[in-house]
């Protein structure tokens, strides 16, 4: 299917008007509001006129030059102005454009209050929608119709030529070749009670999402619990997936799945994302589970990562501080770099000292009870002079068991004063010395310190079976266009928070680095729920989530956030959110916040009243106004 402007020819303007959907006469119009005279009989013939219904007003008889687009906002009282009343009276006597003729009973008449959404007109053969009305003085007495089917689809999927050009430009920049990808996610829906009309699927107008609106943009999915936010997110994931597949473009998606609903098919939902795209989905959990990768790192292999995790945990906890612990926290486990060493010899010396430090750290982990990876051996080079002083019978380069390594460090400590370099300095460098202190629970003055015991509570953060950094691995999946689901429904909340942030930071850092280096960062869409906790109004804007929300777009990071607490979202993030999909909210405070944006105010009452699942009011970057849509239930079969 192509976009509406292409779907319709020059006579489109006339075609928007469907004669059999006449509902009344335009009584009065100004820049903002319109008054429409209608009758029960006309309304019934056109299928009813629910609140928020789109209406079109056009002159009778002649080919229209312009057509006004209205939205019903409620019923209106008979106006006080005698002139207007007289005019309305004369309209009552006119024969309708189509539909039931004959005399209409006086009591059947009523007035509709409408908002003016804009004016459709043709320019250079293109359908255009101006957001204001110019000629309103002449419009009294124009016929008003309720658009349906193709005409309604043209209205709700309308893209201005400017927006279309901008979208194409954007698509080109994003690497999407061909026509703009867009997908139906639901059908126009006005009222909560629409039993009759919704049972006629042929008459429903499809609402399409333009994928370009979502890539490298911000999207809010708002609504109370169980109003269909997660279902909407699944639709978005599937739209993005299909966009990527259609354009042969890799678009990574990562879902922070707090409730485990995207990872697993359960009884309540028909399908999980993992079930629909099994080959392209990787699931992670915080502890080993069949079918899932673990989110954790192997502390014996990803030294710097593991150490930074420990640092975060210790700094976040209330552990008694000591000089050795402080020194441990500020330790740097960056490997020596050949480029920055003055000579090969210097590099080898630094590498040997680094390996020794790492071995002392690993021995410390072992003593604290961290499980060794299978087949792990301690192996590090020690120059013969030193080696022979420590224990001539043991060469650590040949491989030591954990127990042997710990004993070797004990011996080092016993004769430490004798272990000096050719320049007279201690052979044991300060960091390594601190690690040995912690390993042996003894400070430089010979006093007792808790040492390795401080690391014991964090054993569960270590994954003995993993061979690469989990953040690198996840980023790699995203670069390859995979869907990564972080199932955060199980595991310790503190750990969950830390890992979530660390992964987010890694994604931002890598994508920003690519951007800053003048490369094309990969396309990544990040989905988070309970967003008020992450981008809340009391969060510092420098935190990782606000930074992604604010600046991620540069680095091609799209951010989709779901919450029921609109008022808790940081105002500067909500204000910069290009797409808003709002479902039922239960109080005026939240609605008030939303009503500040676009024409959501028109829907304030219905958003509170109607609790229907998946009944969304949608404003995307492309749509000039809010469109009420019943979002389709995520259908695994169709998505496949
Ligand atoms: N558009 C929809 N049409 C039909 N059923 C839906 C729709 N959206 C959600 N549901 C169903 O309603 C329930 C709650 O939806 P969910 O998306 O989990 O809500 P939330 O994430 O807001 O708590 C689920 O069982 C889901 O399958
Ligand atoms: Mg949910």
Question: pLDDT per residue over 30-87, tens digit each?
Answer: 989 999 999 998 998 888 899 999 999 999 988 889 999 999 999 999 999 999 999 9
The closest ligand to the CA of 632 turns out to be 1
CA 598 to ligand 2 centroid distance, Å: 25
SS3 469: coil
Asked if residue 228 and residue 139 are part of one domain, the reply reads: no
Q: pLDDT class for 8, splitting at 50, 70, 90?
A: very low
Q: Residue 3 has what pLDDT?
A: 42
User: Which ligand 1 atom is the nearest neighbour of the CA of 614?
Assistant: 1
Nearest ligand to the C-alpha of residue 222? 1
pLDDT single digits (tens) 492-549? 777 788 889 989 999 999 999 999 999 999 999 999 999 998 898 988 999 999 999 9
Cα-to-centroid distance, 529 and ligand 2 (Å): 7
What is the 152 CA–ligand 2 centroid distance (Å)? 30
What is the structure's pLDDT at 107?
63
| Structure tokens given for 411 | 């011996």
Task: Give residue 268's pLDDT band: very low, low, confident or very high (50, 70, 90).
Answer: low
Q: If we measure between CA atoms, which residue out of 163, 57, 63, 71 comes closest to residue 120? A: 57
* 634 Cα–ligand 1 center, Å: 9
H helices within 248-302, ranges in order?
273-276
| Site to substitute for ligand 1 among 564, 613, 629, 639, most atoms within 8 A of C-beta | 613
- Of 461, 477, 511, the one marking the end of a domain is 461
Dist. CA 228 → ligand 1 center (Å):
4
pLDDT at 176 over 50: yes
Question: Could you tell me which residue, 195 or 513, shows the higher pLDDT?
Answer: 513
Say whether both 525 and 618 belong to one domain: yes
Answer yes or no: is pLDDT of 313 > 90. Answer: no
**Residue where one domain finishes, among candidates 431, 461, 491:** 461
pLDDT given at position 99:
56
Rounded to the nearest 10 degrees, what angle do helices 430-440 and 402-414 cross at?
Answer: 110
Q: Put residue 48 in one of left, alpha, beta given phi > 0 → left and psi -120 to 50 → alpha.
A: left
228 lines ligand 1 (CB under 6 A): yes
Cβ-based burial of 595 (10 A; exposed 0-12, middle 13-18, buried ≥19): middle
Residue 265: per-residue pLDDT: 56
Residue 182 three-state SS: strand
* Range 359-377 average pLDDT: 97
The predicted pLDDT at position 287 comes to: 77
Q: Does 223 sit in the ligand 1 pocket, CB within 6 Å?
A: yes
Same domain, 308 and 289: no
Q: What is the pLDDT of residue 266?
A: 58
User: Which residues span the domain enclosing 9?
Assistant: 4-166
Ligand 1 pocket member 230 (CB < 6 A): yes
**Total residue count of the chain as it appears in this document:** 640
How many angstroms separate the CA atoms of 143 and 136, rounded?
14
**550 domain residue, yes or no:** yes
143 HSE (CA, 13 A, CB side):
25
Mean pLDDT of the chain: 90
Nearest ligand to the CA of 187 is 1
| Residues 386, 252 share a domain | no
What does DSSP say about strands 218-222 and 557-563: parallel, antiparallel, or unpaired?
Answer: parallel
79 class by beta-carbon count within 10 Å (0-12 exposed, 13-18 middle, 19+ buried): middle
| Domain closes at, from 445, 461, 477 | 461
CA–centroid distance, 223 to ligand 2, in Å, is 9
> 54-58 and 206-210: which strand pairing?
unpaired
User: How would residue 299 be classed by pLDDT, with cut points 50, 70 and 90?
Assistant: very high
pLDDT at position 283: 95
Nearest to 590 by CA among 599, 600, 576, 598: 600
The per-residue pLDDT for 19 is: 87
Written as six digits, the tokens of 86 are 């007289």
Residues 252, 478 contacting (CB under 8 angstroms): yes
Residue 485 resides in a domain:
yes
Distance 230 CA to ligand 2 centre (A): 4
d(CA 198, CA 200): 5
Query: What's the confidence (pLDDT) of residue 136?
Result: 75
Ligand nearest to the CA of 631: 1
pLDDT confidence of 100, banded at 50, 70, 90? low
Residue 174 lies in a domain: no
**With a 6 A CB cut-off, is 266 part of the ligand 1 pocket?**
no
What is the domain-level CATH number for residue 244? Answer: 3.40.50.300
DSSP structure string for 339-387: GGSSSHHHHHHHHHHHHHHHHHHHHHHHHTTPPPPTT--B-----HHHH
Residue 151 to residue 506: CA distance in whole angstroms: 47
Both 311 and 441 in one domain: the answer is yes
**Protein residue with least CA distance to atom 1, ligand 1:** 614
| pLDDT surpasses 90 at 126 | no
User: Please, are residues 232 and 212 in contact by the beta-carbon 8 Å criterion?
Assistant: no
Q: What would you report as the CA-atom Rg of the chain, rounded to the nearest whole angstrom?
A: 33
pLDDT of residue 491: 77
Ligand 1 pocket, residue 265 CB under 6 Å: no
Same domain? For 369 and 451 the reply is yes
Taking alpha carbons only, the member of 214, 200, 146 closest to residue 523 is 214
* Alpha-carbon 200 to chain mean position: 34
Query: Which residue did the predictor score with more confidence, 282 or 64?
Result: 282
Question: Could you give the CA distance from residue 347 to residue 335 in angstroms, rounded to a whole number?
Answer: 11
If DSSP codes are grouped into helix, strand and coil, which group holds residue 434? Answer: helix
Minimum CA distance residue for ligand 1 atom 16: 228
**Is residue 370 pLDDT above 60, yes or no?**
yes
Of the listed ligands, the closest to the CA of 528 is: 2
Closest C-alpha to ligand 1, atom 13: 226
Domain match, 540 and 609 both: yes
Beta bridge partners of 283: 485
Q: Are residues 51 and 112 in the same domain?
A: yes
Question: What does the block give as tokens for 485?
Answer: 């689901």
pLDDT band at residue 359, thresholds of 50, 70 and 90?
Answer: very high
Query: How many distinct structural domains can be found in the chain?
Result: 3
Residue 147 domain flag = yes
- 481 and 630 inside one domain: yes
Confidence of residue 449 (pLDDT cuts 50, 70, 90): very high
CA pair distance 87, 137, nearest whole angstrom: 14
What average pLDDT does range 334-363 have in this prediction? Answer: 94
* Closest ligand 1 atom to 268 CA: 25
* Residue 231 in contact with ligand 1 by CB distance below 6 A: yes
Residue 233 alpha carbon to ligand 2 centre in Å? 9
Nearest Cα neighbor of 145 from 15, 58, 40, 28 is 58
Residue 347 lies in a domain: yes
Cα 476–Cα 477–Cα 478 angle in degrees, nearest 5? 90
Residue 269 has pLDDT above 70, yes or no: no
What pLDDT is stored for residue 101 in this prediction? 56
Residue 61 in domain: yes
177 belongs to a structural domain: no
Q: Are residues 631 and 489 in the same domain?
A: yes
Closest ligand to Cα 259: 2
Rounded to whole angstroms, the Cα distance separating 475 from 461 reads 20
Question: What atom in ligand 1 is closest to the CA of residue 231?
Answer: 17
- What is the band of 1 on the pLDDT scale with cuts at 50, 70, 90? very low
Q: Under 8 Å CB-to-CB from 94, ≥6 apart: which residues?
A: 25
On whether both 451 and 514 belong to a single domain, the answer is: no
Q: What is the pLDDT of residue 289?
A: 85
- What angle do the packed helices 344-367 and 303-316 form, to 10 degrees? 50
Residue 195: inside a domain, yes or no?
A: no
- Kindly give the number of the ligand 1 atom that is closest to the alpha carbon of 270: 27
Indicate the pTM of the whole model: 0.85
As a whole number, mean pLDDT of residues 127-144 equals 86
| Minimum CA distance residue for ligand 1 atom 3 | 633
Q: How far apart are CA 428 and CA 360, in angstroms?
A: 11
The helix-helix angle for 493-516 and 544-551 (nearest 10°) equals: 40
Which comes out higher in pLDDT, residue 597 or 107?
A: 597
Residue 257 to residues 217, 225, 261, 476, Cα–Cα distance (Å): 20, 15, 7, 19
Given pLDDT bands bounded at 50, 70 and 90, which one contains residue 293? very high
510 lines ligand 1 (CB under 6 A): no
Q: With cut-offs at 50, 70 and 90, classify the pLDDT of residue 347.
A: very high
Regarding whether 478 and 455 lie in a shared domain, the answer is no
Segment 423-443 mean pLDDT: 95
Beta strand 281-285 with 293-294 is parallel
How many whole angstroms from 228 Cα to the centroid of ligand 2?
7
């Amino acid at each position: 299917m192509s976009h509406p402007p292409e779907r319709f020819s020059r006579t489109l303007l006339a075609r928007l008007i469907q004669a059999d959907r006449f509902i009344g006469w335009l009584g009065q119009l100004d820049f903002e509001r319109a008054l429409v005279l209608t009758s029960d009989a006309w309304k019934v013939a056109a299928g009813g006129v629910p609140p928020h219904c789109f209406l079109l007003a056009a002159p009778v008889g002649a080919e229209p030059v312009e057509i006004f687009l209205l939205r019903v906002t409620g019923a209106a009282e008979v106006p006080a102005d005698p002139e207007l009343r007289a005019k309305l009276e004369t309209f009552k006597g006119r024969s309708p454009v189509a539909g039931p003729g004959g005399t209409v009973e006086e009591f059947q008449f009523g007035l509709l209050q409408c908002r003016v959404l804009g004016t459709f007109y043709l320019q250079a053969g293109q359908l255009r929608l101006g957001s204001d009305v110019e000629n309103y003085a002449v419009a009294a007495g124009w016929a008003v119709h309720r658009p349906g089917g193709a005409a309604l689809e043209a209205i709700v999927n309308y893209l201005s030529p400017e927006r279309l050009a901008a979208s194409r430009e954007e698509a080109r920049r994003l690497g999407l070749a061909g026509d703009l990808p867009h997908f139906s996610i639901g059908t126009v829906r006005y009222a909560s009670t629409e039993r009759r009309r919704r049972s006629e699927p042929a008459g429903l107008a499809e609402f399409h999402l333009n994928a370009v609106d979502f890539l490298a943009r911000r999207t809010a999915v708002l609504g109370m619990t169980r109003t269909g936010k997660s279902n909407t997110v699944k639709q978005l994931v599937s739209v993005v997936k299909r966009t990527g597949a259609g354009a042969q473009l890799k678009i990574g998606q990562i879902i922070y799945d707090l409730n485990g609903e995207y990872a697993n098919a359960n009884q309540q939902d028909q399908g999980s994302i993992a079930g629909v795209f099994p080959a392209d989905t990787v699931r992670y959990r915080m502890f080993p589970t069949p079918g899932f990768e673990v989110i954790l790192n192997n502390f014996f292999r990803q030294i710097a990562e593991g150490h930074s995790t420990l640092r975060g945990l210790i700094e976040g906890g209330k552990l008694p501080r000591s000089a050795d612990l402080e020194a441990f926290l500020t330790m740097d486990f960056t490997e020596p770099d050949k480029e920055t060493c003055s000579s090969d010899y210097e590099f080898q010396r630094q590498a040997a000292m680094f390996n020794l430090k790492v071995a002392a750290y690993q021995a410390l982990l072992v003593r604290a009870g961290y499980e060794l990876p299978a087949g792990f051996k301690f192996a590090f080079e020690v120059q013969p002079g030193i080696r022979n002083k420590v224990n001539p019978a043991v060469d650590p380069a040949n491989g030591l068991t954990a127990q042997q390594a710990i004993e070797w460090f004990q011996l080092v400590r016993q004769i430490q004063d004798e272990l000096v370099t050719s320049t007279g300095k201690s052979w044991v460098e300060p960091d390594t010395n601190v690690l040995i202190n912690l390993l042996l629970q003894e400070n430089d003055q010979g006093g007792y310190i808790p040492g390795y015991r401080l690391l014991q509570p964090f054993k569960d953060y270590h994954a003995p079976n993993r061979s690469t950094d989990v953040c690198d691995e996840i980023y790699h999946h995203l670069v390859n266009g995979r869907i990564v689901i972080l199932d955060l429904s199980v595991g310790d909340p503190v750990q969950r928070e830390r890992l979530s942030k660390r992964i987010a930071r890694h994604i931002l850092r890598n994508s920003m680095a690519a951007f800053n280096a003048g490369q094309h960062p990969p396309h990544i869409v990040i989905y988070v729920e309970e967003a008020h906790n992450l981008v809340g109004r009391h969060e510092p804007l420098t935190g990782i989530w606000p930074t992604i929300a604010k600046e991620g777009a540069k680095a091609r990071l799209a951010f989709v956030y779901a919450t029921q607490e609109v008022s808790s979202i940081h105002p500067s993030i909500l204000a910069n959110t290009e797409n808003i999909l709002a479902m039922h909210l239960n109080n005026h405070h939240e609605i008030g916040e939303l009503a500040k944006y676009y024409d959501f105010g028109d829907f304030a009452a219905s958003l509170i009243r109607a609790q229907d699942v998946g009944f969304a009011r949608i404003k995307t970057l492309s749509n000039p106004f809010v469109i009420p849509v019943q979002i389709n239930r995520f259908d695994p079969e169709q998505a496949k």
